[in-house]
Structure 1
């Protein structure tokens, strides 16, 4: 039998297997679809949370307080050093500007600042930091480096807020990883079990194939293709579910959380990249489940 004839036979046999045990395969396809639907929602939610964390992280600035007696040339030199060390941009805030900003933030209480005999606020440089350098460790190292520079009297970058934000991000990612691992393991077990039932139902056909000299690979190939087809069908069902969810619930969620998530929340839930990812994931899930099944039950 030629290679093309074998491939054609494998695909016809796999399609026939799907028709032979529709209920068994329906269970496997539904299981894969539910897992991929949850993964798609988690993927989109994670992207939205990353956008939220990035927007919050964008507010992180290093405030460098300067000695009042520094000349403008010294301030410019210091600003150049800070920008080189942080990869960001430093903006000079003069004492008068800082006092006006404080008065605006205090609201009605800001009028009391006008009664001060002199401005107690020092000049400062507000330093934006590149996103890849906003971890607590790198910010602390940057602050330590800045404190020893001549003319610097203090450094503040909101250490507690940065550490809390980073801890939240790590917890979310770890929780998502654990949940994905659990769902993945359960899905593979269920897909494997359903294919084992399908193989058992066709045990006589497998026995006849082996009696006439069929190799294990020849016997296993159609079942592996069945698993792959199950995965693709499960991915298609999951994508349809995500599309329906986006059309039915998406606008409501967008209006509720757009003030937090910003433009990210208005993106379409089903995108070409997500569709490709779910298709690949579905095919792999089906292949792994079928590989486990045929490994145990193909020798009849």
Structure 2
């Protein structure tokens, strides 16, 4: 038998095995799909929240409140020191400018500010943080550095929001990997079990092949291909589920993240790199289960 004929036989045999036991293979494909869908969704959401956290440094300014007794020259010197330490750009906001801006943001309620006997707002410096210092850890360290400068009475950069988003991202990522590891073990076991059932159902055919001189490798290859096809189908179902999820839930997520990030801040849930990783993972899962199953061929 030529190599091309062998390859054609292996694929025909694998396809025949899938057709003869559809329910058993359906369980394996469904299990793989659930595992990959869960892992892919957790990773995609984690990446999106990471992008949100990374953008906060540019969208949310680091506001440094200055001592009311600091004169304009002292504020200018402090601004230069802040820019040198952070690598960003800072602008001075006088108390009256801050009060006027607050009145505009409050709308009709802003008229009440005109009744105040004095301006309660201190002068401040608004710092635009460079991209490399927009992580939660870097922002926290920068805030501590700025608080230590003379003439600084307080620093605000939305610390609570940044830390919460970072915690959610970590939880999604780690939770997704833990869940994937648990389902991974169950998936390999189920794939192995389904192929062992397929082997048992075709034990007479296998015995005949061995009697006519077929090697163990020749007998095992179709079942390895079956496992590969199970993984490939499971990955395809998982990708379809992610696409459906994005179409149904995507508009709501886009509006939410657009509000937080501004125009152009949304990214596709299913990126090509993630889709490729899920396809590879599906094939590996299917082959892993099939290797375990065919390892018992000689005892069939």
- TM-score normalised by the shorter chain: which range applies? 0.7 to 0.9
Residue 164 of structure 2 is matched in structure 1 by 164
Stretch moving more, 203-212 or 24-33: 203-212
Seen in structure 2, the aligned counterparts of structure 1 residues 45 and 147 have a Cα distance that, compared at 3 Å, is closer
For the residue of structure 2 that corresponds to 1:235, the secondary structure is: helix
Seen in structure 2, the aligned counterparts of structure 1 residues 42 and 171 have a Cα distance that, compared at 3 Å, is closer
Tell me the distance in 2 between the aligned counterparts of 1:17 and 1:257. 42
Tell me the distance in 1 between the aligned counterparts of 2:278 and 2:158. 40
Which runs of structure 2 are paired with 1:61-76 in the superposition (5 Å)? 61-67=61-67, 68-72=69-73, 75-76=75-76
Confirm whether residue 21 of structure 1 aligns to residue 29 of structure 2: no
Tell me the distance in 1 between the aligned counterparts of 2:166 and 2:243. 32
Offset, 1:258? 4.1
Is the CA contact 2:220–2:297 (under 8 Å) kept in the aligned structure 1?
Answer: no
Residue 204 of structure 1 is matched in structure 2 by 204
How many residues align? The count is: 295
Offset, 1:195? 0.8
Seen in structure 2, the aligned counterparts of structure 1 residues 82 and 2 have a Cα distance that, compared at 3 Å, is farther
Seen in structure 2, the aligned counterparts of structure 1 residues 80 and 206 have a Cα distance that, compared at 3 Å, is farther
Tell me the distance in 1 between the aligned counterparts of 2:141 and 2:265. 34
Is the CA contact 1:48–1:265 (under 8 Å) kept in the aligned structure 2?
Answer: no
Confirm whether residue 99 of structure 1 aligns to residue 99 of structure 2: yes
Residue 295 of structure 2 is matched in structure 1 by 295
For the residue of structure 1 that corresponds to 2:92, the secondary structure is: strand
Gaps of 5+ in 1: none
Gaps of 5+ in 2: none
Tell me the distance in 1 between the aligned counterparts of 2:10 and 2:198. 16
Residue 232 of structure 1 is matched in structure 2 by 232
Offset, 1:40? 4.6
Confirm whether residue 285 of structure 1 aligns to residue 285 of structure 2: yes
Is the CA contact 2:48–2:267 (under 8 Å) kept in the aligned structure 1?
Answer: no
Confirm whether residue 261 of structure 1 aligns to residue 257 of structure 2: yes
TM-score (norm 1): 0.78
Seen in structure 2, the aligned counterparts of structure 1 residues 187 and 113 have a Cα distance that, compared at 3 Å, is same
Computed over aligned residues only, the root mean square deviation of the Cα atoms, in angstroms, reads 3.5
Tell me the distance in 2 between the aligned counterparts of 1:267 and 1:134. 19
Offset, 1:37? 4.1
Stretch moving more, 113-122 or 219-228: 113-122
